[in-house]
Structure 1
Amino acid sequence: MSHRKSENYLKAQLKYATARREYEAPIRELGSTGKHRQTQKSRYTVMSHPEAEALYYTIHGAIESYKFFTEDALSELGLLPPAADGNPPKGFKTAKIHATRSTGEGTVKHAKNSGRPYMSYQPNGQQSSYSAPITSPAGGIKGVVTLVKAIASAKKEVLGPYGRIWFTPEYYVLID
């Protein structure tokens, strides 16, 4: 014996089906783009490669992040000009330096759908988070730690009171 559906249940199902049929996806404004950030190729030295000979991969990084961490060149992040080295294997993750900027005073914003107010400490009209690959061809992991500390002390004033800089290590994948 089956369960008999109530009138209210059927009305709710009909309302849902009607709304779904009449839904039209919002049209993107003419000339607008997503948050696609321009990237630049560079040559990354694998720090955890087990063999004596250095291993290089060609990687992409966001230009704005490179400019945030280093004013002049990629060499300050230990990266080299791009060459035909090949792409990293699936699962490989470069060592990265990350930064988040903030302002001292929050602004009240409202959520789009619910209208719920919340405090935002992000800089208005500016990018608030950055990440860039970082490597040290000569000094290994100790050289990278020294480099991250130097960048963090140089960028301390730009970050704001709630901003921070941190480091994620490389994830090397062994392949045959």
Structure 2
Amino acid sequence: MKAYEINIRQAKMDDMMKVQHLYVETIQSSCKNDYSEEQIAAWISSVINEERWRQALASEYFLVAEDETKIVGFGALKDDNYIDFMYVQHEYQRIGLAERLLKALENKAKENDAELIIADASKTAVPFFEKMGFHMVQENTKVVNGLELTNYRVEKGFLK
């Protein structure tokens, strides 16, 4: 599979269930070496917040990557320069698809006159973001269902 063979398009409300499924599946398969089973269970528990997903799909610059009719990745830009979501199905990682999604989000941030783009990246995702020119600015600890989850604020400035 080649990344350029996968279509990237604006998400529709009808995509919500597929996106939610991919969110859970990707966290479970890709993050198991960096987070405990309990931490992963707490993390994916947010999938049940239907209103959060509806709002993201309706108000954010939300893209999905589609292999024929199967959604295999998604990314979303919130508030002009914050990467709210960035997930690629485990089997589609390391083929350039995440780079394509990220570049599309970066281009949108530039269109919005953003001077930088930021994300709160999981331990698993930090190496990808660093490879793409981001640098870590702080460690964050979030308590979800009584468990601490660590992620990292990463950012990348744009040259004018």
TM range (shorter): 0.3 to 0.5
Which one has the bigger strand percentage? 2
Which one has the bigger helix percentage? 2
The structure with the largest alpha-carbon Rg is 1
